[in-house]
Every structure is written in structure tokens, then in C-alpha cells.
Structure 1
Amino acid sequence: MDDTTLIAEDLLLLLLDDKSGTPAGAGTLHYTLGGALLVELALLGRVETGGDRPKLNGPQVLAIGDGPLPDPMPRRAYDKIAERPRNVQSLLLAIGGGLWKPLTDRLVERGLLRRESKRLLGVFNRTTLPIGDGRHEEELRRKVCAVLEDGAAADPRTAAVIALLSASGTLPSLHPRPRWSGEVYQRAKQFEEGDWGASAVHTVVVTTVT
């Protein structure tokens, strides 16, 4: 495994509380992580949306291109998409369900998280995921804050992370979060609305929690 992190890994690092390892937006996390894999594949040029008319559950997602993908996680997502065309919202759970464990395993393996077990009341075991080597996460936060607070230009991966944070409704729950303001909210929404994967996440999250 190389040192390149997936968008889903970067997103999860930001969502996790650095002390407890509890994620913001836990109830809809699988949709958010599924959206991150879709965006990853889109940036790699391996998926596109099809169909002339918008569908109730979002546009169809089609697998395109050939040749090996560099990482097994987007490779499995690509294979699922290649089985048959599906609407984007139905794909979020299909490729995002069950990602929590393998993603946290990868982050622990890289040293970006630590896995600790504690005994509560002498009976119950509780596993936490505090931050490990925090340099990568610190750089992620610096980039996100520079874009949202100062209006700096965003590279495609940072733009995708911001879009998904906005779409999942977790941006105000980050610890620490960007300095909150109307401008920060609007900048984040602009990234969300420009990304079909993030827009699908937003639709599903809103439907789930209302």
C-alpha cells in the first residue's frame, strides 16, 4: 500500500473526533463514504453519469474505461458499478455499506489513527480511535480552512472533501471546525452543488434524517 490516501480516508479523518474517534454524522456515514468513492472514481475518469432526463434517485452512473485501478477499495466499487447501470442514490449504500472497518483499518495501518481498547466499569470493552500521526490531518484541515475561510483556490481532492462535508451536514460538527460564518456556509454549498456525487449524498442524508 502506498502513502496516497483516498478521498474517503481523508474525509473520515476529518469526521472523527481526535480524542474518541467517534465520527460526526455516524448515522449516515455509509452514504457519505459511498459518495467519496464515487467522487474518487470520477476523478480517475472511471465513471460518468448517463441519461438525458434527471431521475427521482439521481442520474445513472456508468462504469467507463479499462485497465487496473491502483487501489483495491475503488476497484471493488468500480466492479459493483460495472455490474449494471444504477441511479446514484442507490449506489451510495451499495458501495458505502461496510466501509467503516476497512477504512479505519487502513488508517491504523498507516499510523494516522491508533486503536485503543478500554475497559468500562471493569466489564465492558470499548474501542476508541484517537489520532495517531496528526501531520496529514493537520494539513487537510489547513487546506479546507484556507478554502472556506479565506477563499483560497481548491485542488480537486480538497474540493471533493469540502463538497462531501457540506452534503453530509457535518461541517458544523467538526472538531475543530472552520470559523463559522455565512460566507463559509455559502462557499461549502457551492462545492456541494457542483458535484453530483455530493448532491446525491445530501439528498439521501436529508431524506434519512427527516
Structure 2
Amino acid sequence: MLLAEDLLLLLTDDETGKLAASGTEVDVALGGALLVELALKGRVDVAGANDRVREGRLVVRNPDPTGDGELDEALTLVVEREGKKPQSVVTRLGKRARVRLYQRLVERGVLRVEADRILGIFPTHRWPSNDAAHESSVRTALLTALREGAAAEARTGALISLLHALNAVHKTVAPDSLGLSETELEASAKRIAEGDWAAKAVRQAIDSINAAVIAATSSAVIVGGGGGSS
């Protein structure tokens, strides 16, 4: 399961099938999750002082296919836009990714799709849970990390970092389930987002990507935001 799919599951209410954050914000975060996964796999990095592209821009370390169609499509886009700022690539990666990821989760039996209409006119979809086993295992790792204030492995650290960038940790985890206040929960997420849970190269890439997610999300909200579940 992709990191972006785990993020989308956490941000989608199991009962209503609706998002816990605005569609615009989620789309940006999903683009960030795809880029983070490419970084974790050693395919993409943020350029250093002596790289072939300008420092701080995206550089491709390994263009070989990952074996996952969605991730390979993301890698192709990054290859085409090598040398660009992470923010611009995150935004591009997030466009239309949400519905494709939802459809993958439906095909795997994790979610089901329910068609509806807003005001009886405008078509929309909801994506309630069909099999919560995978999400439950992801959530268990998330809760353990947040309770301890540290991530045991990079994937959980990346997921919490993305949720923190969205300011959505409290929307996916009930603070009282951990015996924490909302302030304490956010503080724990912040420690993890800034923590030393990844190798140096991956850490640098994820720091830049998370900054891009925050910046792109802020820009989208200022322009007009977005919403909806499909």
C-alpha cells in the first residue's frame, strides 16, 4: 500500500466516506506523500551544493520503475520536471490523484464507493470503509509513535509529518484515546515531524517536501480553497 493511500484512508471517515480536511489541502498532501515515497525509495532527492541541478531543487537519483503504476507515473513526472522546486511538483502530483487512489482502494476491497448528488443535481461520491484491517494496522503504528513522541521507522514518521503539515493529526487521532490533550498531541506530532527518524538524505528531502506541502496548501486556501469528497 502506498504512503499516499494510507494518508487518504486516515483522512477519510470510515462511516461517512467524507474527508476530514478540504479537498484542496488533501490533494496537495497526497502529492507530497507520493514525492516522499519516491524519496524513501531512493528515487528522488533534494539537490545539494554539488549536484547537477540548483541546490534545493528536485534531483532524480534513480529513474528505474518502482513496480507500482501510480508511483511510476509520479516518478515520470518528477523526471520531466527535474530541477524544479518541490512545491511546484507536489502540486502537479496531487492533481487528480485522489480519485485514482480511491478507485485503487475500492478495487482492493478496502473501501466502497457510494454515488450521491448535491442538492439533487451535482454528482458526488463518498468512500466509506469496507475492510478496515489495513487502516487499523496503520493507525496502531501511528498511535504508538504519537504516544511515545518518536517514530520507530521512517514510513510512520513520514505519515505523521504529512498529517502535521496538514494540521490534521487531531482530526485522525482522538487525543483522549492516548490520554493526551489536543495541545500535547500536536506537540508530539511536531517532535516526530522534526525528529531524527530517517537517514540524512531522506530527512533533507522530506523536510523540503513538507515545507512545500505547507506552502502550497496555504496558497491554495488563500486563492479559494476547495472541498468535497470526490
After superposition, give the CA deviation of every residue in 1:133-185 in whole Å (9 maximum; x if it has no partner). Answer: 011111111111111123354321111110000001112222x5343433321
Identity of aligned residues (%): 38
- Give the alignment's TM-score, normalised by structure 1: 0.85
Q: Secondary structure of 1:48's partner?
A: strand
Offset at residue 118 of structure 1 (A): 4.7
Residue 43 of structure 1: aligned partner: 40
Matched-pair contact (CA < 8 Å) for 1:149–1:178: no
- Mark the CA change 1:77 to 1:126 in structure 2 (over 3 Å): closer, same or farther: closer
Corresponding residue number in structure 1 for 2:78: 81
CA contact (8 A) 1:8 1:33 kept: yes
2:15 aligns with 19
State the match for 1:164 in structure 2.
162
Taking a change above 3 Å as real, the CA distance of residues 51 and 112 of structure 1, as seen in their structure-2 partners, is same
Q: 1:122 to 1:199 in 2, by over 3 A?
A: closer
Going from structure 1 to structure 2, the CA distance change for 1:207 and 1:119 (only over 3 Å counts) comes to closer
Q: Which of 111, 114, 117 is equivalent to 2:115? A: 117
Q: Is 1:106 the counterpart of 2:118 in the alignment?
A: no
Partner of 2:190: 189
Is this contact kept in 2: 1:192–1:199, CA < 8 A?
no
Pick from 149, 152, 167: which aligns with 1:151?
149
2-structure distance, mates of 1:49, 1:41: 11
Residues 64-107 of structure 1, C-alpha deviations (whole Å, 9 max, x = no match): 11432121111111111111311000111111111011100000
Indicate if the aligned counterparts of 2:60 and 2:79 stay in contact, CA closer than 8 A.
yes
Tell me which of the two structures has the higher relative contact order, counting C-alpha pairs closer than 8 angstroms and 6 or more residues apart.
2
Structure 2 counterpart of 1:155, which letter? E
Aligned equivalents of 2:124, 2:215: Cα separation in 1: 33
Q: Is the 8 A contact 1:46 1:63 kept in 2?
A: yes
Q: Report the CA distance shift for 1:62/1:131 in structure 2 as closer, same or farther (over 3 A).
A: same
Q: Indicate whether 1:8 and 2:4 are aligned.
A: yes
Q: CA offset at residue 123 of structure 1?
A: 6.7
SS at match of 2:66: coil
Distance in 2 (alpha carbons) for counterparts of 1:23 and 1:156: 25
Of 49, 63, 68 in structure 1, the residue corresponding to residue 65 of structure 2 is 68
- Residue 209 in structure 1 maps to residue 221 in structure 2: yes
After TM superposition, the structure 1 stretch with the greater mean CA deviation from structure 2, 157-166 or 125-134, is 125-134
| 1:200 equivalent in structure 2 | 212
CA offset digits 1:35-77 (Å, max 9, x no partner): 000110001000110154xxxxx93111111432121111111
Distance 1:153 1:74 in 2: 24
Amino acid at match of 1:198: N
What corresponds to 2:228 in structure 1?
none
Over residues 114-145 of structure 1, what are the superposed CA-to-partner deviations in whole Å (9 max), with x where a residue is unaligned? 11235788777653211010111111111111
The question of whether the paired residues in 1 share the 8 Å contact of 2:63 and 2:79 is answered with no
Q: Number of residue pairs matched?
A: 201
1:153–1:199: structure 2 CA closer, same or farther, 3 Å change rule?
same
Alpha-carbon deviation of 1:187? 2.2
